[in-house]
């Protein structure tokens, strides 16, 4: 299965756009804006969300944001999506085409606008990296840790 790589990408409540995680600081998280490349420290009180941790409600449970972005990517063949400032009914219809099983009672238009704005930003910045998603990731991770520890002890 294929998905979009959202590793190290973050959203900060109250700040427009997306940010790339750079480092952990004593007084917060150092991030860089994708739109203007300015670096800033998001304080511990800021509501910072890693895109990897965000999901969208569907009829079958939660769908990771990376998979939702992949659905839009597939629908648009890698091109730009509808404008996130389009009329609410247009946005709902568009999102329904991309993700037919989304829960329209728990996913608000404001959520759809964010997802589409984020997709278009990543598409514009040429940051929509399609990767193969491993189905048995927990096994692979444990194997990697064992291999890493063995190498470190030598």
pLDDT of residue 1: 82
- Tens of pLDDT, residue by residue over 43-60, are 999 999 999 999 999 999
> Could you name the CATH architecture of 2-126?
Orthogonal Bundle (1.10)
63 SS3 class: strand
pLDDT of residue 149: 42
132 SS3 class: strand
Return the closest-CA partner of residue 17 out of 1, 41, 35. Answer: 35
- Tens of pLDDT, residue by residue over 90-146, are 999 999 999 999 999 999 999 999 999 999 999 999 999 988 877 644 444 444 433
CA distance 6 to 78: 16
Burial of 46 (0-12, 13-18, 19+ CB in 10 A): middle
């Amino acid at each position: 299965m294929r998905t979009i790589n959202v590793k190290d990408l973050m959203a900060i409540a109250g700040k427009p756009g997306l940010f790339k995680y750079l480092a952990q600081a004593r007084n917060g998280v150092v991030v860089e804006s994708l739109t203007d490349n300015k670096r800033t420290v998001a304080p511990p009180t800021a509501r910072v969300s890693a895109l990897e941790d965000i999901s969208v409600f569907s009829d079958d449970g939660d769908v990771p944001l990376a998979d939702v972005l992949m659905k839009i990517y597939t629908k648009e063949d890698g091109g730009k999506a509808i404008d996130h400032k389009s009329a609410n009914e247009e946005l709902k219809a568009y999102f329904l085409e991309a993700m037919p099983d989304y829960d329209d009672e728990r996913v608000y238009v404001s959520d759809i606008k964010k997802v589409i704005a984020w997709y278009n930003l990543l598409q514009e910045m040429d940051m929509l990296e399609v990767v193969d998603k491993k189905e048995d990731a927990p096994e692979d991770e444990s194997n990697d840790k064992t291999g890493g520890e063995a190498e470190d002890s030598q």
